[in-house]
Amino acid sequence: MVHKKPHPLLAWRLKHPVPITDDIKAGEYGTFMFPEDNFNGYWRIQTDNPGIRSKMRKIARDNKSPWTRVGWGTSDLFRRTFTRKPTALAFFAKLGLECGFSVIQPNKTTWELRKR
């Protein structure tokens, strides 16, 4: 059996878990974009920010949209294909700008939205 290394975001999250308490509020996990396997193919956005969740849910509900909502709970997970990394990052940067965030890159394969 071949075991793949976990995605860098998952590996980082496992080392830096958010404490599970009643004090955690929406928006404390963050908003991240990362490729599933490589830069050409499926990309995911994971967020617990209420404003971004609402905007992405609206986008995913549109039948003409390439975005699909693939996970929900304490955060939402959205998925779509991009043929080029710059196209994916341009969408993420625009989403962040519209919601008052800027993009940072905590590692080689993950991008995060943070309040300006």
In a domain, 12, yes or no: no
- What's the CATH number where 63 sits? 3.30.1410
Q: How does DSSP classify residue 2?
A: -
Residues 57-115 have pLDDT tens digits of 999 999 999 999 999 988 999 999 998 889 999 999 999 999 999 998 888 888 999 88
Asked whether residue 4 is assigned to any structural domain, the reply reads: no
What confidence tier does 38 reach under pLDDT thresholds 50, 70, 90? Answer: confident
Distance between CA 69 and CA 41 in Å, rounded? 16
Structural domain count, the chain: 1
Alpha-carbon distance of 48 to 5, in angstroms, equals 25
Q: Using 50, 70 and 90 to split pLDDT, how confident is the model at 21?
A: very low
Distance CA(53)–CA(65), nearest Å, equals 16
Global pTM value: 0.75
